[in-house]
Amino acid sequence: MTPTRLPLALTTASIMLAGTLCAAGTAHADDDPSVPPGTEATASAPVEVDANDPDLKIPEGATLAEPKVLDIKQVVEDQSGEERREDTNADVKFALQAEVLFGKDSAKLSAESKARIAAIADEIRTQNATKVRVFGFTDNLGSSAHGDTLSRRRANAVHDILDTELNSPDITFEVRGYGEQYPIADNSSESGRKKNRRVEVSFPRNG
């Protein structure tokens, strides 16, 4: 008798982080920003699951759906933490610390920072992206109003370089300043605040 061969199904899944890309009506930061992708509200608390609940068991004769990859996130950060790249199946996002781009409490870009932004423009061009988000963030020091204004000015400065480098009427920009909202690190330490002072540039992957 010939032994029966069973196919091996490998399911790889991770949290889906791609957000809906919305184009802004103007190229500069809006006064009423939307929520950055990946920060939407979720359920307030997990639901307890009874492992013996018959509704959770596969009925006799039923089969599982075909396995599929939902999304895989890859993060690459330089040793100093000044620049980070995140790739998912849907999007590419660059995060640059403010100190790399600007002087203290400034929105004026240095020559070196313009070269970094030009490299991001090259990647946007490679991906044939037509919608680009540029979001500015600060730490929680100083007033909230000052942080909102500074983050908008910095996002606008990065946008201006990208727009000049790409020089394409087919690309739509969404440019916003969020101030101290949506921190990615603890604001109680300088190392954490340094990570929160950043500008993010994100766009869809090609295909």
Separation CA 191–CA 204 (nearest Å)? 30
Which two structure tokens, joined as six digits, stand for 91?
């999007």
- Residue 148 phi/psi, 5-degree rounding, is -60, -45
Question: At CA 44, angle to CA 182 and CA 15, rounded to 5?
Answer: 65
Separation CA 17–CA 86 (nearest Å)? 11
Separation CA 130–CA 73 (nearest Å)? 22
Over the stretch 163-190, which tens digit does the pLDDT of each residue have? 999 999 999 999 999 999 999 999 999 9
Over the stretch 65-116, which tens digit does the pLDDT of each residue have? 777 666 677 888 776 778 889 999 889 999 999 999 999 999 999 888 999 9
133 Cβ partners below 8 Å, 6+ apart? Answer: 21, 37, 173, 174, 175, 176, 200, 201, 202, 203
- Residue 32 phi/psi, 5-degree rounding, is -120, 80
pTM attached to this predicted model: 0.68
The mean pLDDT value for 128-134 works out to 96
CB of 100 closer than 8 Å to CB of 83? yes
Would you call 202 exposed, middle or buried from its count of C-beta atoms within 10 A (0-12, 13-18, 19+)? Answer: buried
